[in-house]
């Protein structure tokens, strides 16, 4: 288990905005499922392709600037990073996947680890799948959903980088994601929420926070 350097960054002042992930602090970085802490408190996991904006989304929802880190080389981070909330609940930041520069053997190995985590972690109450609104849900995203949705748990799709689209285009992109998922997962679509999101423009924060607060109780 590898521990990160301690960052002394202070949380932003609390005001109107997201609260479900406030007070999150680094817990552990695990390079294998066996290194994860024993299942106990409720967990939510953030997953997504490299460069989809996952770290930025976590930081925005936690009202922090440097809680979650993006690797300088996308797809190179090979750890499940966990943060603990004041309530004891856990937020898992799963490694980004799908980056072309990563060797195929590494890709396959980590895809298997992530699939096993989302399918078998007993305290995982919800999955946040971060996708670029401009590109929608990709095949590797569906591989993750294929293993998670049959469990009956909920999924929130954060359609990130919506600030790079007009309001109309962002609405169209979210509608297309809902339509595509409805066609692929007709029996599970009622448990999928799609939120147009932008960490930069702070769009969709309140909607996403409400879902997280409900999951974490």
CATH number at residue 186: 3.40.50.300
**Angle at CA of residue 66, ends 60 and 68, nearest 5°:** 75
**Angle at CA of residue 196, ends 191 and 198, nearest 5°:** 135
Q: Considering the domain boundaries, does residue 90 fall inside one?
A: yes
Q: Which two tokens stand for residue 151?
A: 């469990």
Q: Considering the domain boundaries, does residue 101 fall inside one?
A: yes
Residue 167 structural domain: 25-216
- Grouping H, G, I as helix, E, B as strand and the rest as coil, residue 97 is strand
Exposure of 136 by Cβ count < 10 A (0-12 exposed, 13-18 middle, 19+ buried)? middle
Q: Considering the domain boundaries, does residue 7 fall inside one?
A: no
Confidence (pTM)? 0.88
pLDDT in tens, 26-56: 999 998 899 999 989 999 999 999 889 999 9
Amino acid 101: pLDDT = 61
Q: Which two tokens stand for residue 203?
A: 């769009």
Q: Considering the domain boundaries, does residue 151 fall inside one?
A: yes
> Total domain count for the chain?
1
pLDDT in tens, 106-120: 677 777 888 889 989
């Amino acid at each position: 288990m590898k521990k990160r350097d301690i960052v002394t960054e202070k949380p932003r002042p609390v005001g109107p905005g997201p609260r479900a992930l406030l007070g999150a602090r680094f817990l552990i970085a695990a390079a294998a499922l066996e290194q994860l802490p024993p299942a106990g408190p409720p967990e939510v996991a953030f997953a997504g392709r490299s460069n989809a904006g996952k770290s930025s989304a976590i930081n925005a929802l936690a009202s922090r600037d440097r809680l979650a880190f993006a690797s300088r080389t996308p797809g190179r981070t090979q750890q499940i990073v966990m943060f603990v909330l004041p309530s004891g609940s856990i937020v898992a930041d799963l490694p980004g996947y799908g980056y072309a520069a990563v060797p195929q053997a590494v890709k396959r190995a980590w895809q298997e680890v992530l699939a096993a985590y989302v399918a078998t972690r007993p305290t995982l109450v919800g999955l946040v799948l971060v996708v670029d609104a401009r590109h929608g849900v990709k095949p590797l995203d569906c591989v993750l959903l294929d293993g998670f949705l049959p469990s009956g748990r909920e999924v929130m799709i954060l359609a990130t980088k919506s600030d790079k689209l007009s309001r109309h285009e962002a609405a169209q992109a979210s509608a297309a994601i809902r339509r595509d998922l409805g066609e692929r997962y007709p029996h599970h679509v009622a448990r999928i929420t799609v939120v147009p999101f932008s960490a930069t423009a702070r769009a969709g924060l309140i909607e996403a926070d409400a879902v997280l607060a409900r999951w974490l109780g």
